[in-house]
Structure 1
């Protein structure tokens, strides 16, 4: 068997049977040679990112994958997604009916990997540290609803929220709430470099050159106390300049697994099963890609311009010609695999229509061709990004309504410039912090949104977001989420393009590949083990 196409979590029972048949088990792979994982992620220290693995700063998928394997959080997502369950905590629950007070109790006798005791005070310190540092590129927005943190005892933590929030357990399961050692971190500033001091399943040893990580080794943490079951003692992460070099290493057996970031043509090639020793696993994902607009810009700030772009862009052609159907067209900021999704953009604009776009611009008195630059990052979202933006440029310019240029920028420069509003129109991706529609609305449109967007809609901010968070039964919030998506489609502060699928390619003696990524794109290194090559 050299390829599996699986849908999680519907096939949990089937997977258990498959793994057992292949020699896999909860203890598979203990000891033995390290599992070697390839990635094209790059971790570089800069003035804006002095500590890429500091939980008060890290807020992108690659860095969070490091943090999720080295730090603990009070709660964690189950291996196949769903509602979070206790991790560093023994138990957690709301202690009131309004979802405004949340209480957790730690496991007893907990320690960090360095041997220091882990107590409720460390949890309090970690949360308050991120709130105090309040880095604009960091995840502080996920914690901004916390009003106060109390520690009645060494093992008890109580969070008092400013307003009801049924999604708060999900937020405590993200690296934004990672527990750091209060003896090793400064409470008022970021750490320098790549060192981590956590209590997660692994310790991390990095080798760096010129401020960039060139190797990373994850070793089993003997002090780990939590719910995760490790299938290996050590994982090595190797970094590649591009996906072709990464695939070559996989084919030669120099690495055991690769995922971030694979090119569409690689997926298509591996899907054909040309190599009998490589297994490709496909699973549903919630990654989205979109265009962002500076709504204060003299050009992109015009609603008619943004609406006309939405009327011209052909998503079907984009996923067919650029992504070889490894992605799906997306017509809402909330992906179709998440509850309360509605095709708001398609409902408003329908199929691409240059005539309607021309009418929109003419009615608003906008002269054509409209000129602006599309900015994208050259080294963060995969090798197809440049081709994608050339396709977008061609679509817009072919209409005769736009004169668009494109410019690629390395991520280390792109993200600070985007956050500083240096770009009128730019391409971004989003890997959800947790699988709830709130995580596709609040981070983009709340006051302290992670894009630092000037867009403001009071209906979304002051009515719909608070109302949805009062609903413990998330289906009860569906109408409010649908209304928010319709507002976004009308105002177009962001323009959703496509929703990705997840792929992992691995040597056939690696077990647990089906669980290497969960539905929120979390890299679960602890699931990987050694089996028997078939």
Structure 2
């Protein structure tokens, strides 16, 4: 080879090598503590389902944005009738499901009718209770008529439980999810990881990542080494424990502490004696020391709450003083309830750290007033079965990460077993109200009723501790909905 050709070849090779070295990565491994029980957002209550699939694989008529706003999704626009009861959705055209089938009005009707059917397995069936009828106008237009106006209807249609599925694939979505989103399901190595890949035929703005893997990392002892080694590049919501200062001091990582919609509660079976007595629930509320629980169960980062409402919401009111920490008052209330000598109960704890650590602290606090708790650790699937579905429990600890979900206390079959007609009346009025000022007043009434009734032990708002490689951009700072939206995530130099 002539010298000039040798030089040119070497130069070309150097340029190609440099380009490869500086090319932005297009893959991402995210760590998450809990594995989903299945992969169908319309058929399960576990937050981990949405954390993988929401906005990535599945889409709804609307979607919730990073700031909690309602955005168009499969519906490009909508109009509302003067009486507030009929929503006309104009759908995007040219949209296909990942199996190649066409998306259209029939899929919207199928999904909404399926979610509100008598035999529906949707965990948030109440979201669809206001729907009177779903009518196909043409392949790209759907009318949804409500029984009464509902101020939160567009917001409700942005939940993961309201994503649109196809009749051809709905039955198999638990194992092989088929949506319309910018990513397609690729593989689920159970117990290990779930992988999604870029959808080359996506109807909207293409994803910037080619591949994302959601790796199951159940505890901090494994999470920290995985992060420091680069094996996992992002933990959108990390159990970092005492290692937080170490990670914050490391320039390789970005630490973003944000807010969630996760009301962390001491869930209480309100129909099971002696928890059916208000004085007993009030005694528990007085015995709880929120600061100690927050310090021990959320690295001191949780925000104390006194009712089931996020402090990030403009309608929030601070009700933490309703039942201040007061052991003497707690003991007096138990005595008034005829339980001066205390009693024993069970505390079923799911595997998340805030529950397991918080459970130990609460058990110690309640022991001071004579309540002896038997701690029963359960796996997530067992918690969903025993506590959430069968209501076979006394007390439990869990974060409710669904947005603006105070209305769950009006559901007669909900696992708290709470029943208060005054509260139900407020929620019914809220559902009929679209004026923001009136809705705020009603939200505040609802918060006050729950706080006064000590329905649950209201502990703290779960913080979102996001830690990821400093070169990763686009992950959410806050969690207005239980999601890891990867639609704008990319690597930068």
Q: What's the TM-score, normalizing by structure 1?
A: 0.83
Shift of 1:324: 2.6
Instruction: Report the secondary structure of 1:526's partner residue.
Output: coil
1:88 corresponding residue in structure 2 = 74
**Aligned match of 1:469 in 431, 437, 453?**
431
Q: Provide the residue aligned with 1:278 in structure 2.
A: 253
Q: Find the counterpart in structure 1 of residue 19 from structure 2.
A: none
Q: Return the alpha-carbon distance in structure 1 between the equivalents of residues 188 and 411 of structure 2.
A: 38
Post-superposition Cα deviations, 1:335-379, rounded to whole Å, max 9, x if no partner, equal: 211122122352x32x2112212222222333421221121112x
The verdict on how the C-alpha distance between 1:196 and 1:297 changes in structure 2, with shifts beyond 3 A counting, is same
Deviation above 6 Å: which 4+ runs of structure 1? none
Structure 2 counterpart of 1:503 = 465
Residue pairs, 1:311-460, within 5 angstroms: 311-346=286-321, 348-349=322-323, 351-378=324-351, 381=352, 383-399=353-369, 401-418=370-387, 419-432=389-402, 434=403, 439-449=404-414, 451=415, 453-460=416-423
Q: Could you tell me which residue of structure 2 aligns to residue 291 of structure 1?
A: 266
Deviations along 1:378-403, one digit per CA (max 9) or x if unpaired, are: 2xx3x24322111101111123x322
Tell me the secondary structure at the aligned position of residue 300 of structure 1.
coil
Question: 2:9 aligned with 1:36, yes or no?
Answer: no
> Larger radius of gyration, structure 1 or 2?
2
1:299 aligns to what SS in structure 2?
A: coil
Aligned equivalent of 2:129: 144
**Match for residue 204 of structure 1?**
185
Give the one of 173, 176, 179 matched to 2:158.
Answer: 173
Task: Give yes or no for contact 1:199–1:223 (8 Å, CA) kept in 2.
Answer: no
* Of 363-372 and 493-502, the range deviating more from structure 2: 363-372
CA distance in 2, matches of 1:137, 1:241: 26
1:102-141 alignment runs, 5 A limit: 102-132=87-117, 134=119, 138-141=123-126
Provide the aligned C-alpha RMSD in A: 2.2
Structure 1 residues 466, 147: closer, same or farther in 2, change over 3 A? same
Q: What are the ranges of 5 or more consecutive residues in structure 1 without an aligned counterpart?
A: 1-28, 45-51
- Is contact 1:256–1:507 with CA below 8 Å preserved after alignment? yes
- SS of equivalent residue, structure 1 residue 466: helix
Residue 78, structure 1, aligned to residue 40, structure 2: no
Shift of 1:446: 2.6
Report the CA distance shift for 1:447/1:92 in structure 2 as closer, same or farther (over 3 A). farther
Aligned partners of 2:384, 2:245: CA distance in 1, in Å? 30
Aligned to 2:117, the other structure's residue is in SS state helix
The answer to whether the 8 Å contact 2:185/2:195 transfers is yes
- Quote how far apart the aligned CAs of 1:457 are: 1.0
How far off is 1:90 after superposition? 1.2
Q: 1:402 to 1:207 in 2, by over 3 A?
A: closer
Q: What's the offset of the Cα at 1:518?
A: 4.0
Structure-1 separation of matches of 2:383 and 2:259? 28
**Do 1:41 and 1:260's aligned partners in 2 also have CA atoms closer than 8 Å?**
no
Of 169, 174, 183, which aligns to 1:184?
169
User: What TM-score, normalized by structure 2, do the two folds share?
Assistant: 0.89
Q: Which runs of 5+ in 2 are unaligned?
A: 1-21
Q: Equivalents in 2 of 1:353, 1:88: separation in Å?
A: 52
SS in 1 for 2:357: helix
Residues 88-135 of structure 1, C-alpha deviations (whole Å, 9 max, x = no match): 1110232233x3222211012221122111010001111112223745
Q: Deviations over 1:165-186 (max 9, x none)?
A: 1101011111211111222234
Query: Does 2:69 correspond to 1:100?
Result: no
CA separation of 1:447 and 1:262: change in aligned 2, threshold 3 A: same
**Greater shift in the superposed pair: 99-108 or 232-241:** 232-241
**Aligned equivalents of 2:290, 2:343: Cα separation in 1:** 21
Structure-1 separation of matches of 2:336 and 2:468: 54
Closer, same or farther: CA 363–448 of 1 in aligned 2, 3 Å: closer
In 2, Cα distance between the equivalents of 1:282 and 1:291? Answer: 24
Superposed displacement of residue 199, structure 1? 0.3
What is the alpha-carbon distance in structure 2 between the residues aligned to residue 156 and residue 283 of structure 1?
Answer: 38
Deviation at 1:137, TM superposition (A): 6.8
Indicate yes or no: 2:205 matched with 1:218: no
Q: Deviation string for 1:15-39 (max 9, x for gaps)?
A: xxxxxxxxxxxxxx99744112122
Per-residue displacement from partner, 1:36-69 (whole Å, max 9, x unpaired)?
Answer: 212222134xxxxxxx222331222210122211
Quote how far apart the aligned CAs of 1:264 are.
3.0
In the alignment, the residues of structure 2 paired with residue 74 and residue 502 of structure 1 have an alpha-carbon distance, to the nearest angstrom, of: 27
Shift of the alpha carbon at 1:203?
0.2
Q: What whole-Å deviation, never above 9, does each CA across 1:438-492 have from its counterpart, x for those lacking one?
A: x23212333354x3x321111221x211212233232322222222222112222
Structure 1: distance between partners of 2:392 and 2:314: 34
Shift of 1:323: 2.5
